[in-house]
Amino acid sequence: MVIFNDIKQEEYFVDNGYIKSNFISSNEVKEIIDYYEQYQLMGGDIMPFAKSLGYYISVFDSNLDRRKYIDSKLKDVFQKKIEKIMPNYTILYCNFMTKDPNGTEIEVHQDFSFVDEKKYTAFNFWLPLQYTDAQNGGFHLIEGSHKLFNSYRSATIPHNLTHYNSEFKKYMKEIPVNAGDGLIFDHKLFHYSTPNQTNNVRIAIQMVLIPKDATPVTYYYRPEEDKNNLEVYEITSEYLLTDNLWSDPKNKLKFIGKTPYEKIPDAKSILKKLNKNKSNNILEKINNFLKMYKIFNEENLQASFENDGFVRLPQLLTQQEIEEIKQFYFKYTNGNVENSVYGMYVSLDEKDTTKKIDTMKMIQEYLKPKLNKYLHDIKSHLGSFLVKVPNKYSYTYPHQDWLFIDNEQEDMFSATIWVSLEDIDVQTGSLGFIKGSHKFLNNIVGSPSPEIYTATMGHESLLLSYLTFPEVKAGDALIFNNKTVHAAFPNTTEKQRIAIGIGITPEPAVLHHYFLNPENNKKLYKLTVDEEFFYTYSNDTLRNTYHNKNYHNTPKL
- Please tell me the predicted confidence (pLDDT) of residue 34: 94
pLDDT tens-digit profile of 281-321? 554 554 554 468 899 999 899 999 999 999 999 999 999 99
Quick one: pLDDT at residue 289? 44
pLDDT of amino acid 376? 92
Kindly tell me if the per-residue pLDDT of 221 is higher than 90: yes
Q: What is the pLDDT of residue 549?
A: 63
For residues 325 and 453, the model is more confident at 325
Mean pLDDT over 252-280 rounds to 84
pLDDT-derived band at 277 (thresholds 50, 70, 90) equals low
Given this model, what pLDDT does residue 281 score? Answer: 58
276 to 187, 271, 281, 493: CA distances (angstroms) = 21, 8, 9, 53
- 3-state DSSP call for residue 424? strand
Residue 161's pLDDT band (boundaries 50, 70, 90)? confident
Q: When comparing pLDDT for 7 and 276, which is higher?
A: 7
pLDDT tens for each residue of 477-529: 999 999 999 999 999 999 999 999 999 999 989 999 999 988 887 788 899 99
Q: What is the pLDDT of residues 139-156, one digit of tens each?
A: 999 999 999 888 899 989
Q: Which residue has the higher pLDDT, 47 or 344?
A: 344
Closest CA to 501 of 406, 359, 405: 359
Model confidence band, residue 164 (pLDDT cutoffs 50, 70, 90): confident
pLDDT tens readout for residues 460-480: 889 999 999 999 999 999 999
Average pLDDT of span 245-272: 90
Highest averaged pLDDT of the listed ranges 99-103, 163-167, 239-243: 239-243
pLDDT at 49 over 80: no
**Per-residue confidence (pLDDT) for residue 545, from 0 to 100:** 85
What pLDDT is recorded for position 480?
A: 97
- DSSP annotation string for 329-378: HHHHHTT-----TTSSEEGGG-S-HHHHHHHHHHHHHHHHHHHTTTB-SE
- Is 60 exceeded by the pLDDT of residue 279? no
State pLDDT tens for residues 50-89.
666 667 888 888 889 989 999 999 999 999 999 999 999 9
Across the chain, what does the average pLDDT equal? 89
CB 58 within 8 A of CB 95: yes
Task: Please write down the HEC assignment for all residues of 443-485.
Answer: CCCCECCCCCCCCCCCCHHHHHCCCECCCECCCCEEEEECCCC
Mean pLDDT computed over 445-453: 88
Average pLDDT over residues 102-119: 90
3-state DSSP call for residue 7?
Answer: helix
The model scores a pTM over 0.75:
no
DSSP 296: B
Least Cα distance to 312 among 423, 471, 468, 430 occurs for 471
Q: Give the burial class of 403: count Cβ atoms within 10 A of its Cβ; 0-12 exposed, 13-18 middle, 19 or more buried.
A: buried
Query: What pLDDT, on a 0 to 100 scale, did the predictor assign at position 290?
Result: 46
